[in-house]
A and B are shown apart, each in its own frame.
Chain A
């Protein structure tokens, strides 16, 4: 498996609270991604990064922000969590934009 870890792996939080998810890689890949996976929707891209401090929005970016201060870490923040953000969140990495993406184990988030 590619060296990708996500933390926490499970989290329960309340509506309106801030939440930060962390993705850490040891592969030195340039690109990092955050996806959410929901029944009936497949995986959808939230944000991605193409280098330190370089990020861009994906298909479902509203309500989320990201930061990448080091090559190995990509943080996803829900500024004020809502029940619609209950989902499984996956981090992925790739050496280049069009190459195979390698996925982390996922974070299961429940917003009550």
Chain B
């Protein structure tokens, strides 16, 4: 089983600040890692998926990196906006197969106007 940890559990930043969210996983034999966003009372929205052969993926103001040797992934958000306020979850897949995606408990981000 892939153990996934996200610290801190909550983070508040002023609008416009660049920020980094952290995700740690226990098994370096990771197949891929995904970042999701969850708004209160809503489902998850996929943000980025990084394959084990990749080091990073970018989408707009978001950049996700993957370092298998250290067991870490980071999600970088540039020029944060109040609309970025949400819970961000990472999920690591240890190997192929539908039952091998394990989620962290998330970081709740608040961007203060």
A43 touching B99 in the complex, CB below 8 Å, given contacts A90-B43, A104-B43: no
CB atoms of A105 and B42 under 8 A apart:
yes
**Smallest beta-carbon distance B110→chain A, Å:** 18
**Per DSSP, are chain A's interface residues mostly helix, strand or loop, or mixed?**
strand
Within 8 A of A (CB), among B19-51: 31-32, 34, 36, 41-46, 49
CB atoms of A98 and B31 under 8 A apart:
yes
Residue from B1, B41, B105 within 8 A of A42 (CB atoms): B105
Q: Enumerate chain B residues within 8 angstroms of A48, measured Cβ to Cβ.
A: 98-99
Residue from A31, A33, A106 within 8 A of B43 (CB atoms): A106
Within 8 A of B (CB), among A70-103: 90, 92, 94, 97-103
CB atoms of A97 and B97 under 8 A apart:
yes
| Chain A interface, number of residues (Cβ within 8 angstroms) | 29
Question: Which residue, B45, B96, B101, has most C-beta atoms of chain A within 10 A?
Answer: B101
Within 8 A of B (CB), among A12-30: none
Q: What 0/1 pattern do residues 89 to 101 of B give for CB contact below 8 A with A?
A: 1010100111101
CB atoms of A103 and B44 under 8 A apart:
yes
Residue from A42, A58, A105, A106 within 8 A of B99 (CB atoms): A58
CB atoms of B96 and A97 under 8 A apart:
yes
- Complex Cα spacing A94 to B103, Å: 16
**Smallest beta-carbon distance B8→chain A, Å:** 15
**Smallest beta-carbon distance A17→chain B, Å:** 25
A33 touching B98 in the complex, CB below 8 Å, given contacts A43-B89, A100-B49: yes
Q: Enumerate chain B residues within 8 angstroms of A1, measured Cβ to Cβ.
A: 45
Instruction: Please give me the residue from chain B that is nearest to A102 by CB atom.
Output: B46
**Partner-B contacts on A (CB < 8 A):** 1, 4, 31, 33, 40-45, 48, 50, 56-59, 90, 92, 94, 97-106
**Partner-A contacts on B (CB < 8 A):** 1, 4, 31-32, 34, 36, 41-46, 49, 89, 91, 93, 96-99, 101-106
